A and B are shown apart, each in its own frame.
Chain A
Amino acid sequence: MTTTHTTTSTETPVVPDFDDDSDRKLCFVCSKGNLDMAYPALIMANGALSEGIETHIFFTFWGMDMINKKTMGDLRFTALGNAAMHMPPGLGRLSDKHMPQGLAGLPGMTGMATRMLKQQIADLDVPEVPEFLQMLSDMGANLWACKMSVDMMDLDADDLFDEVVDVINVGEFMVLSEGAQIIFV
């Protein structure tokens, strides 16, 4: 491949377009409480907030585990029922193979899979869920809890992560998400 470098000089400096006036708005719905299903919304929300995008995260059903003080630091990752699960790294060619589901159901497998995933996430210097949510809140994310889930799971505001703005019903979620792009996880 031939690459040609040209040097041009301009009188008026090129200034990056930081587009500060964008009215883009994103709403994430977190409905899962598994460790692996917690991260997609958190990472995308981080990206959105870094771009100055108004960001809301609504936690519902199993997603409540992400903001329940008792569970948020202890989310699990299970290989069971995950047809895409590979054998662990470090086993040579075997690592490329899918894990037999019979193996995934053995006692201790969920704990082992959780430890391994947590380590891989930490190796990328990505924080654990509670610290991640604190960071997103500091960046300006609005965290909302689902009223029906709170009632169903017999929780109250004291059970929830301190940065949760409020417990809202689906009607209120519809109002706040007006004009937003909604991402359901």
Chain B
Amino acid sequence: MNTQTIAGQSVSVNDEGFMTSYDEWNEDLGRELASMIGIEELTDDHWAAINFLRSDFAERSETPTLRRVTKVGGIPTKQLFVLFPKKPAKKMAYVAGLPKPKGCV
């Protein structure tokens, strides 16, 4: 396990840089993580996705797949690709301080 300092806070991360402790995350960290992967401003739409990921993970202990974010979270797939370009599933998970989704679909 590694720790690193992000937004002035010491947090646990894995080898790739994904946070590993659900409770260490907060919105300031979310903003800083987003900026580190090139998303400079988090809009309400970004937060809707991030908040869905966090609440769904809290219930199921599993990062939701893109399909679940669309089907259950109600955020259209096309919009997710605009908000978190190219790799929305992984990027959302990263910003939300969660592991990468494991599901294939």
Contacts and interface: CB of A to CB of B under 8 A. Distances in A.
A14 B85 CA distance: 20
Contact of B87 (A6, A7, A14, A51): A51
Nearest to A5: B1
Contacts of A123: none
A9 B5 CA distance: 8
B81 A139 contact: yes
Contacts of A140: 81
Contacts of B18: 16
Interface string B64-102: 001110100000111001000111111100100000000
A9 B13 CA distance: 10
Q: Place the interface of chain B in its size category.
A: 20 to 34
Interface string A4-43: 0111111111111110100000000000000000000001
Given A43-B105, A125-B67, A135-B67, A16 B2 contact: no
B80 to A, nearest CB: 9
B44 interface: no
Given A43-B104, A50-B87, A135-B67, A9 B2 contact: yes
Given A7-B2, A13-B36, A15-B36, A138 B77 contact: yes
B5 A13 contact: yes
Given A20-B85, A126-B105, A135-B77, A8 B3 contact: yes
Interface size class of A (residues with CB under 8 A): 20 to 34
Nearest to A46: B105
B4 A10 contact: yes
Given A18-B87, A140-B81, A13 B1 contact: no
B48 interface: no
Nearest to A136: B77
Nearest to A121: B105
Contacts of A50: 66, 87-90
Given A7-B1, A9-B4, A10-B4, A16 B37 contact: yes
